[in-house]
């Protein structure tokens, strides 16, 4: 024990090893099965997980890929989006949403986010559409589903593809329907810290369009359906058997884990009202999965420092918008069109949130915030 040192926080942001201890025998068995089975890439465990995840999302097709960024990129490639095309993206998101667009040769065009949901604001889409616009990527940020009703009708009106970045929203619902099937295709990430995480990198594309699924299936495997017959310039982006087996073990626990997150969110929202924090807002049509519980405060750094002193680990998602990163210094971004997104990086604070948090830990976070803000 001494070798790895004592825990530095009383309340860690997310104790992943505690999660895995809950299901250790199942994970051990999955590992042994794959080892004994001998097939490590594109085998039965992947097929089984793809089926199970498609059923979970209530979609026809699921294609396992190497990570969430690749999932987005392969969707864009399969849709034929590339050089000369614009893709609308939220001004505030993890940079992967933008990177996928850039990596296929298209241009990310930021749309401001809604002041309460922090998701792409449908009211701002019209102003961003030009004849070059081909698609919208709606991100379900922090596990809060984007307004799929409004975005779908805008996409239909302008003849655009609607892609979901569901990397933070496994299991969330908008208007009663699971994310993953509300647009032309959706990208999921199984990065370990996501609501459904592998023991390494992983991702998936879901869609109700079998042809699109088939294109992604080829693109993830060197552009070939039949070995050594390459029809397109593909990638090597497969979800391996070991990760698929671990994910298959974890999927049946996802709803229980998401329910625990919702319980914690409810405790936070109840106890933290009227402390001067802006709390997360849930749209009437939304059933979020609380990937993160993000509050806002004008003196975020002071609040955060007080929590750190109290042994509470917090995070910031995200300290800088993609459009303000050095990587995107070459893009001509009109920041006057992004007032909400521009104000968020200085004020957002992510509180500890995970299915393994105890009630005592939730209470510690609440008490620490009450102490600093009262």
Ligand X SMILES: *Cc1c(COP(=O)(O)O)cnc(C)c1O
Name the minimum Å distance from CB 331 to ligand X. Answer: 18
Q: Is 191 in the site for ligand X (CB under 6 A)?
A: yes
Binding of ligand X at residue 69 (CB under 6 A)?
Answer: yes
Neighbours of 35 (CB within 10 A): 12
Cα separation values, 22 from 16, 19, 45, 101, Å: 10, 5, 22, 38
CB nearer to ligand X: give 189 or 321. 189
Beta carbon of residue 333, minimum distance to ligand X (angstroms, whole number): 19
Q: What minimum distance in Å lies between the beta carbon of 121 and ligand X?
A: 17
Q: Which is nearer to ligand X, 144 or 221 (CB)?
A: 144
Q: Cα–Cα distance between 362 and 353 in angstroms, integer?
A: 9
**Cβ-based nearer residue to ligand X, 76 or 167:** 167
- How large is the greatest C-alpha to C-alpha distance in the chain, in angstroms? 67
Based on CB atoms, which residue is closest to ligand X, 73 or 221?
73
Q: The tokens of 35 are what?
A: 């080892």
Q: Does 203 interact with ligand X (rule: CB under 6 A)?
A: yes
- Residues 29-68, one symbol each (x = binds ligand X by CB under 6 A, - = not), give --------------------------------------xx
Rounded Cα gap, residues 95 and 106, in angstroms: 15
178 φψ region: left (φ > 0), alpha (ψ -120 to 50), beta (else):
beta
Q: Residue 296 pairs with which residues in a beta bridge?
A: 278, 348
Work out how close the CB of 191 gets to ligand X at its nearest, in angstroms, rounded to a whole number: 4
- Tell me how many residues contact ligand X (CB under 6 A): 15
Between 75 and 96, name the residue whose CB sits nearer to ligand X: 96
Q: Closest separation between CB of residue 3 and ligand X, Å? A: 30
R_g over Cα of the chain? 21
Positions in 73-112 near ligand X (CB under 6 A):
93-94, 96-97
Residue 372 CB, shortest distance to ligand X, in Å, is 28
The rounded distance, in Å, linking the Cα atoms of 359 and 261 is 11
User: Which phi and psi (to 5°) does residue 120 adopt?
Assistant: -50, 130
Query: Does the footprint of ligand X cover residue 248 (CB under 6 A)?
Result: no
**Going by C-beta distance under 8 Å and a sequence separation of 6 or more, which residues neighbour residue 3?**
none
Per CB under 6 A, does 139 bind ligand X?
yes
What CA–CA distance (Å, rounded) separates 35 from 112? Answer: 48
Nearer to ligand X, 283 or 368 (CB): 283
CB 63 within 8 Å of CB 190: no
Q: Is 288 in the site for ligand X (CB under 6 A)?
A: no
Q: Which residues of the shown chain bind ligand X in the complex (CB under 6 A)?
A: 67-69, 93-94, 96-97, 139, 165, 167-168, 189, 191, 201, 203
């Amino acid at each position: 024990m001494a070798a790895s040192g004592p825990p530095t926080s009383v309340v860690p942001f997310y104790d992943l090893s505690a999660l895995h201890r809950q299901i250790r025998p199942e994970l051990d068995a999955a590992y042994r099965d794959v080892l004994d089975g001998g097939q490590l890439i594109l085998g039965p465990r992947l097929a089984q997980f793809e089926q199970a995840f498609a059923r979970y999302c209530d979609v026809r097709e699921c294609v396992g890929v190497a990570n969430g960024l690749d999932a987005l990129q392969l969707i864009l490639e399969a849709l034929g989006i590339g050089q000369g095309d614009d893709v609308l993206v939220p001004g505030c998101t993890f940079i992967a949403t933008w990177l996928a667009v850039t990596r296929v040769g298209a241009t990310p065009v930021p749309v401001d986010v809604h002041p309460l949901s922090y998701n792409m604001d449908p009211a701002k889409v019209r102003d961003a559409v030009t004849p070059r616009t081909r698609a919208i990527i709606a991100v379900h940020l922090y596990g809060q589903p984007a307004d799929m009703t409004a975005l779908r009708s805008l996409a239909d009106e302008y003849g655009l593809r609607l892609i979901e970045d569901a990397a933070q929203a496994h299991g969330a619902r908008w208007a009663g329907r699971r994310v993953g099937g509300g647009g032309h295709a959706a990208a999921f990430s199984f990065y370990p810290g996501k609501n459904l995480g592998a023991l390494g990198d992983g991702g998936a594309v879901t869609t109700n369009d079998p042809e699109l699924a088939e294109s992604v299936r080829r693109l993830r495997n060197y552009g070939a359906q039949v070995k050594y017959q390459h029809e397109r310039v593909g990638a090597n982006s497969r979800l391996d058997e070991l990760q698929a087996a671990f994910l298959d073990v974890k999927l049946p626990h996802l709803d229980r884990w998401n329910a625990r997150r919702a319980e914690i969110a409810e405790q936070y929202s109840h106890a933290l009202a009227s402390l001067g924090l802006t709390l997360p807002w849930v749209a009437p049509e939304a059933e979020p999965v609380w990937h993160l519980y993000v509050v806002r405060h004008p003196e975020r750094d002071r609040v955060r420092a007080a929590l750190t002193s109290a042994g509470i680990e917090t995070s910031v998602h995200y300290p800088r918008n993609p459009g303000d990163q050095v990587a995107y210094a070459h893009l001509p971004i009109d920041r006057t069109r992004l007032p909400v997104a521009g104000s968020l990086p200085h004020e957002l604070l992510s509180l500890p949130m995970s299915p393994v948090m105890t009630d005592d830990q939730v209470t510690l976070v609440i008490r620490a915030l009450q102490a600093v803000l009262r």
